[in-house]
Amino acid sequence: MTEVPVAAYLRRIGMDPQTGPPTLKLLAALQLAHLTTVPFENLAVFHHRGPRTSLDWSVPKVVDQRRGGWCFELNGAFGALLMALGFDADHVACRVWEGNPGNPTPADWGPEFDHLGVVVRLDGEHWFVDVGFGDCCLVPLPLRAGEYDAAPRRARMEPQPGGSCVLHELLPPDGDGRAAAAWTPQLHIDPTPRRLDEFDGRSHHLQTEATSTWRQKPFATRALDGTGSRVTLRRGLLRRRAGTDPFADERVEEGAPQDALLVEWFGLDDSFSR
């Protein structure tokens, strides 16, 4: 297993290398720091660079190259950082919701290993931590029944038979904050510890399947603070949100102007063009 350069990783996300022992406060600070400094982006997939799930790919990409990535890279690297800091953490597999709210069935969930998350055992609880799901919860969430304040929106955990849990978020149906919010399933979390290479098949499929949206539409997004503020860049569109307000959209010219925004907001010297 690749050794994680802990001090360099912590500096990368703006944290003091002198962190102290594992605590829930530290875990929450690490998660937020990661979400606000390391973008969730698909450029390695979009440009057919063959991103891998292994730490010898993801850790140098995040720490040395100062790039972002998708869940297999970001949560893979972040989980390894937590372990190196002394947290009792595991990489876990999640299914992503693909159906509509109300009466979910097994067919409404994506396949196993569709998403990589992290579970941390701390203070007698199991905590779900995610830095690789885009506009996701910004705080650790306990894997037990209940509703929780989790900017940018409330979250709910529902235990399932066999020890898994379903994460719901209180989302507006139209996604813009102007309609009545409804509880919407997001992830089916299996807390079974997984090896990173168990995600290889799904990673390969998502970056090579011709119909995969991951390889068709470039994007980058990151949280701006702990209140829910966020910036997202898609082809021809810059979206910004202050706190939990609706997104404000700004059309941008493709090419050099768009690439300049990629550098300004995400520190990525890259291109949205093929």
- Say which CATH number the domain at 128 has: 3.30.2140.20
Whether residue 201 contacts residue 113, with contact meaning beta carbons closer than 8 Å, is answered with yes
The predicted structure's pLDDT at residue 111:
95
Q: Nearest 5 degrees, angle CA 148-CA 150-CA 152?
A: 140
261 in any annotated domain: yes
- In this predicted structure, the answer to whether residue 258 has a pLDDT above a threshold of 70 is yes
* Catalytic entry in 91, 114, 126, 130: 130
Q: Select from 148, 171, 202 the last residue of a domain.
A: 202
The predicted structure's pLDDT at residue 99:
79
Q: Select from 202, 226, 241 the last residue of a domain.
A: 202
pLDDT (average), residues 41-63: 97
Instruction: Kindly indicate the confidence band of residue 272, based on its pLDDT and cuts at 50, 70 and 90.
Output: confident
Share of residues in the chain with pLDDT > 90 (%): 86
- In this predicted structure, the answer to whether residue 1 has a pLDDT above a threshold of 60 is no
Instruction: Kindly indicate the confidence band of residue 46, based on its pLDDT and cuts at 50, 70 and 90.
Output: very high
- In this predicted structure, the answer to whether residue 124 has a pLDDT above a threshold of 80 is yes
The average confidence (pLDDT) of the chain is 93
71 in any annotated domain: yes
DSSP 3: P
131/45 same-domain check: yes
271 in any annotated domain: no
207 in any annotated domain: no
- In this predicted structure, the answer to whether residue 212 has a pLDDT above a threshold of 70 is yes
45/177 same-domain check: yes
- Give whole-number Cα distances, 125 to 19, 80, 141, 147, 188, in Å: 21, 20, 10, 15, 18
134/257 same-domain check: no
Which residues pair with residue 234 across a beta bridge? 219, 237
- In this predicted structure, the answer to whether residue 176 has a pLDDT above a threshold of 70 is no
Q: Which residues are CB-contacts of 26 (< 8 A; sequence separation ≥ 6)? A: 19, 20, 85
pLDDT digits (tens, 9 = 90+) for 134-152: 999 999 999 999 999 998 9
The predicted structure's pLDDT at residue 105:
67
242/112 same-domain check: no
Domain extent at residue 149: 6-202
The predicted structure's pLDDT at residue 62:
98
**130 is known as an active-site residue:** yes
- In this predicted structure, the answer to whether residue 175 has a pLDDT above a threshold of 60 is no
pTM for the model? 0.94
Q: Quick count: other Cβ atoms within 10 Å of Cβ 40?
A: 24
182 in any annotated domain: yes
- In this predicted structure, the answer to whether residue 101 has a pLDDT above a threshold of 90 is no
65/185 same-domain check: yes
Q: Following DSSP, what letter does each residue of 139-156 receive, concatenated?
A: S-EESSSEEE--TTS-EE
34/152 same-domain check: yes
Task: Specify the number of domains making up the chain.
Answer: 2
143 in any annotated domain: yes
DSSP 246: P
- In this predicted structure, the answer to whether residue 222 has a pLDDT above a threshold of 80 is yes
- In this predicted structure, the answer to whether residue 91 has a pLDDT above a threshold of 60 is yes
231 in any annotated domain: yes
pLDDT (average), residues 113-124: 97
* Catalytic entry in 91, 94, 114, 115: 115
pLDDT (average), residues 258-264: 96
